Amino acid sequence: MTTLNLTGTLPAATGRSGLTNALRSEWTKIRSVRSTLWSIGAMAAVAVGLNALINWLTIDRRWAQMVPGERSSVLANPLDNILASPMTVAQFAVAVIGVMAISAEYSTGMVRSTLQAQPRRMTILGAKILVIVGLMLVVGEALSFAAYATGKAVIAPHVPVHLSDPGALRAVIGAGLYIPVLALFSLAAGAILRHTAAAITAVLGIMLVVSNLTQLLPDSWGHHINAYMPMNAGSLVFQQHVAPKQLLTPWQGLGVFAAETAILVVVAAFLMRRRDA
């Protein structure tokens, strides 16, 4: 029998795999996935490009043919056309980014490699949250101000719009804040369901179906349920003028959306700790 003799010793271990390394890992993952870049590109195309085209066709070119009622409506709430409408469409791409930030690893089985590299599941979840919220905050604010500037330039010959107008600055900043909250809501849904198609369907179902169906509920309790639905409450923050019948102010609406998202994140964290990969 031959005895193997080691002539050297391994270097001492230094440091440990913590949140900093997890953040680097999650940032590498999210920026290297094609779906992230495509989704952000789709957001920009809708919020800036398509928005400008629609406003040019429906407002700038048609201004002379508009009846007085149409003109009054546009003049009274111009940000509905140049900000609220494009953000409402762009949020679909945000939902996809948020869900896939975590569900893709479960679908491909890559989560097992992630857990081998970093067994602390809450560290992984925390890193994903920080990366997705940070990225979507930057993207959201950039697209919000870009949509405002582009839309303003298109309709400026007929409709004056300024950030100093009542509710304008809050709406522009609020649109950028709504985006990361929605991304986090979607990430939590992805962590709970662990299936990309199911999570995206669930988020879009809440956004498009459930939120609208609650309008059919009778009496004041139906009105309250509708007002406190996540996206209904959160979207108030990027509306320049909120209807008097609304139960929440714009900032209260965003706060309700953030609180509901936080509850969903807690549920996702609990399940992530309890379930096998």
In a domain, 51, yes or no: yes
Q: Is residue 38 part of a domain?
A: yes
Please report the pLDDT score of residue 46 as a whole number: 84
pTM listed for this prediction: 0.87
The reply to whether 12 falls in a domain is no
Give me the domain span that covers residue 41: 19-274
99 found inside a domain: yes
Within a domain: 233: yes
Q: Is residue 214 part of a domain?
A: yes
What DSSP string runs through 49-94?
A: IIHHHHHIIIIITTGGG--HHHHHHHHH-THIIIIIHHHHHHHHHH
Q: Return the minimum-mean-pLDDT range out of 23-27, 65-69, 183-187, 250-254.
A: 65-69
pLDDT of residue 15: 46
Furthest C-alpha separation in the chain? 100
Total domain count, the chain: 1
User: What pLDDT was estimated at residue 238?
Assistant: 92
Q: Which residue has the higher pLDDT, 103 or 260?
A: 260
| Angle, CA of 101, 116 and 104, to the nearest 5° | 20
Whether 11 is covered by a domain: the verdict is: no
Predicted local distance difference test score (pLDDT) of residue 134:
96
Report the pLDDT value the prediction gives residue 248, as an integer from 0 to 100: 92
Centre a 10 Å sphere on the Cβ of residue 274 and count the other Cβ atoms it contains. Answer: 8
Q: How confident is the model at residue 67 (pLDDT cuts 50, 70, 90)?
A: confident
Does a structural domain hold residue 82?
yes
Mean pLDDT throughout 216-232? 87
Average pLDDT taken over every residue of the chain? 87
Res 189: pLDDT: 96
Residue 10 confidence class, pLDDT cut points 50, 70, 90: very low
Low-confidence winner among 11-15, 34-38, 92-96 (lowest mean pLDDT): 11-15
DSSP string, 207-267: IIIIHHHGGGS-HHHHHHHHHTSHHHHHGGGG-SS--TT-SS-HHHHHHHHHHHHHHHHHH
User: What local confidence, expressed as pLDDT, does residue 14 receive?
Assistant: 46
Q: Tell me: the pLDDT tens digits for 132-169?
A: 999 999 999 999 999 999 988 888 888 888 898 888 99
